[in-house]
């Protein structure tokens, strides 16, 4: 008998007790009308509220539900990675738990996948209910990233997407620890296509991405795909040496051919502070890379699972 294909949906959740039931309802509706078999893989990223309890309850009542619980908060991108690793679908969909990404769009993803696309990603045409700070920094980030890196990552695109099995297998074969999933997927290639949508307001609760996490995420994106910040030292060095050389010529000229000399202390201080600042900045930048390299060579597992519910087999595995 011809087995129906399976769609896996991966939903990372960190302190989402206010939204998770509603998300489950909407996802279940969409998936059941898709005509495919489906599994909903919730990744509880060390939530400290009732998220885990609610997920347990959902798994008890619904055999489509799978739950992965982390031993602590490991972060959004790691949660997504864990979900993908445990997905057995012919296609895998990533979606946030907060309903900012409308589950109904998954049906459009599936249509494109049936047409033969390997990756279908959702492009944010607008963002409702987010602070201007978030909108401006996000817009800026994607545009700076675009200029720094050599691969094409589509602008204004989050992790809300569908990936075919061969993309998922390629992604699972990438061992890196600082994961910028949307970038890795672009890097993999195959046939990719975007669908525009209006990003909704959060259904309830507040963002789990404070500035600190946003910055780390941004640096992961840049360092994963570009060496340009490291090359900045060379470029700045070249410029300041050039300016210094012109300065020497001017000073020599004044000393030899005019009666005035250049007065010293404050201009000297400015130059010393300026160059000192640039040097520390570059050192910091190198630190970002070296720290990430250290993380890679330590080869710790990417996450620690506390519990797995609803998976066939049921043994606990961790990322190698
Ligand atoms: N999330 C997570 N771990 C974290 C932070 C966020 O699993 O450390 C999840 C969160 O529950 C949500 C998704 O990642 O499903 C996106 O987070 P959020 O909506 O807070 O980010 P925003 O949409 O504000 O950028
Ligand atoms: Mg959100």
pLDDT band at 215 (very low <50, low <70, confident <90, very high): confident
Higher pLDDT, 247 or 184: 184
Q: Residue 128 C-alpha to ligand 2 middle, in angstroms?
A: 11
Residue 2 confidence (pLDDT) above 70: no
Between 41 and 234, the more confident residue is 41
The CA distance from 69 to 306, in Å, is 5
Q: Flag whether pLDDT at 309 surpasses 80.
A: yes
Task: Say yes or no to pLDDT of 51 above 80.
Answer: yes
Strands 91-94 and 6-13: parallel
Give 313's pLDDT tier (boundaries 50, 70, 90). Answer: low
Give the pLDDT confidence of 130-158 residue by residue, as tens digits.
788 888 888 888 888 888 888 888 888 88
Whole-number pLDDT of residue 317: 45
Q: What does the alpha-carbon distance between residue 252 and residue 224 come to, in Å, rounded to a whole number?
A: 46
- The complex's ipTM works out to 0.95
Average pLDDT over residues 295-301: 90
What are the start-end ranges of the H helices in 34-131?
51-61, 76-85, 105-114
H/E segment holding residue 193: strand 192-199
Q: What distance in angstroms lies between residue 247's CA and the mean position of ligand 1's atoms?
A: 52
Q: Band of the pLDDT at 42, cuts 50, 70, 90?
A: very high
For residues 221 and 90, the model is more confident at 90
Question: At residue 1, does pLDDT exceed 60?
Answer: no
Report which bound ligand comes closest to the CA of 83: 1
Instruction: Give percent of the chain with pLDDT exceeding 70.
Output: 97
Between 303 and 134, the higher pLDDT residue: 303
Q: Of the bound ligands, which one is closest to the alpha carbon of residue 79?
A: 1
Please state, rounded to an integer, the average pLDDT across all residues of the chain. 88
Which ligand is the nearest neighbour of the Cα of 45? 1
Q: Which residues contact 187 (CB under 8 A, 6 or more apart)?
A: 151, 225
pLDDT at 320: 44
Q: Is 181 in the pocket of ligand 1 (CB under 6 A)?
A: no
Going by alpha carbons, the residue nearest to atom 24 of ligand 1 is 207
State the Cα–Cα distance between residues 15 and 311, nearest whole angstrom.
22
Q: Is residue 264 over pLDDT 80?
A: no
pLDDT at 316 over 70: no
Of ligand 1's listed atoms, the one at least distance from the Cα of 12 is 7
Contacts of 119 (CB under 8 A, 6+ apart): 161, 162, 163, 164, 167, 185, 188, 190, 191, 192, 193
- Residues 94-107 have pLDDT tens digits of 999 999 999 999 99
52-56, 197-201, 263-267: the lowest-pLDDT one? 263-267
């Amino acid at each position: 008998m011809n087995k129906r294909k399976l769609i896996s949906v991966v939903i990372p959740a960190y302190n989402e007790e206010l939204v998770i039931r509603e998300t489950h309802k909407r996802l279940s509706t969409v998936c059941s009308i898709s005509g495919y078999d489906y599994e909903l893989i919730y990744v509880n990223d060390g939530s400290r509220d009732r998220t885990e309890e609610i997920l347990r309850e959902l798994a008890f009542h619904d055999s489509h539900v799978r739950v992965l619980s982390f031993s602590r908060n490991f972060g959004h991108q790691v949660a997504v990675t864990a979900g993908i690793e445990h997905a057995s679908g012919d296609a895998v969909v990533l979606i946030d738990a907060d309903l900012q990404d409308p589950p109904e769009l998954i049906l459009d993803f599936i249509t494109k996948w049936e047409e033969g696309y390997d990756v279908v990603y959702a492009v944010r045409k607008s963002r409702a209910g987010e602070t201007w700070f978030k909108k401006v920094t996000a817009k800026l980030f994607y545009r700076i990233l675009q200029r720094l890196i050599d691969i094409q990552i589509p602008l204004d695109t989050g992790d809300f997407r569908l990936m075919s099995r061969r993309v998922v297998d390629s992604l699972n074969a990438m061992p890196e620890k600082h994961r910028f999933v949307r970038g890795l997927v672009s890097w993999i290639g195959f046939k990719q296509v975007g669908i525009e949508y209006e990003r909704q307001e959060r259904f309830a609760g507040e963002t789990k991405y404070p500035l600190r996490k946003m910055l780390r995420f941004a640096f992961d994106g840049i360092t994963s795909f570009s060496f340009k910040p490291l090359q900045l030292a060379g470029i700045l060095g070249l410029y300041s040496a050039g300016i210094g050389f012109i300065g020497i010529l001017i000073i020599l000229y004044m000393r030899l051919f005019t009666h005035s000399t250049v007065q010293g202390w404050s201009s000297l201080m400015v130059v010393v502070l300026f160059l000192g600042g640039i040097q520390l900045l570059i050192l910091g930048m190198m630190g970002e890379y070296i720290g990430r390299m250290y993380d890679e060579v330590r080869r710790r597992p990417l996450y620690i699972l506390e519990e797995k519910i609803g998976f066939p087999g049921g043994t606990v595995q961790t990322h190698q």
